[in-house]
C-alpha cells in the first residue's frame, strides 16, 4: 500500500479579484454567445454576426481557463471545465436542432 500525500495550493489573495471577475465574465460572455446564437437562428440578427457569438464563446473558454489555473484546480476539475466549455458550445446547436425537427414534424 502506497501512502499518497494530498498537496493543496492556497489561492493567492492577489488572485482573488481576477478569479471573481473571470468567473463572472464566464456568465456574461456565455450569455452573449447563447443570445447571439439564438438571435441569428430566429433571424433577428444577420448570419455574419454569429462570428461575434463564437468570439464570446472563445472569451468564455479563456475565462474558464484563467479561473481554473489561478485556483490551481486538480486534473478532474480541469477536465470538467473543458467539458463545460464544449457543452456550452454544442448545447445551443442541439436545442435548435431538436426544436427545428419538432417544428418540421408538426407542420400545420
Residue with C-alpha cell 419538432? 102
pLDDT of residue 108: 58
Q: What angle do CA 22, 55, 33 make, to 5 degrees?
A: 75
Per-residue pLDDT tens for 65-102? Answer: 999 999 989 999 999 999 999 999 999 999 999 988 88
Quick one: which of 108, 104, 64 has its CA closest to 86?
Answer: 64
Concatenated DSSP letters for 69-108? HHTT--HHHHHHHHHHHHHHHHHHHHHHHHHHHHHHHT--
Q: Where are the domains of the chain?
A: 15-105
The three grid cell numbers given for residue 85, joined into one nine-digit string: 466549455
Say yes or no to pLDDT of 6 above 80.
Answer: no
Give the tens place of pLDDT for each residue, 18-54.
999 999 999 999 999 999 999 999 999 999 999 999 9
Q: What is the pTM for the complete model shown?
A: 0.83
Amino acid at each position: 500500500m502506497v501512502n499518497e500525500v494530498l498537496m493543496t495550493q492556497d489561492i493567492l489573495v492577489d488572485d482573488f479579484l481576477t478569479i471573481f471577475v473571470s468567473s463572472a465574465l464566464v456568465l456574461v460572455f456565455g450569455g452573449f454567445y447563447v443570445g447571439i446564437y439564438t438571435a441569428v437562428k430566429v433571424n433577428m440578427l444577420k448570419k455574419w454576426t454569429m462570428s461575434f457569438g463564437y468570439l464570446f464563446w472563445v472569451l468564455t473558454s479563456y475565462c474558464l481557463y484563467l479561473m481554473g489555473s489561478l485556483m490551481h484546480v486538480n486534473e478532474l476539475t480541469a477536465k470538467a471545465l473543458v467539458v463545460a466549455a464544449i457543452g456550452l458550445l454544442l448545447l445551443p446547436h442541439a436545442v435548435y436542432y431538436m426544436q427545428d425537427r419538432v417544428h418540421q414534424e408538426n407542420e400545420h
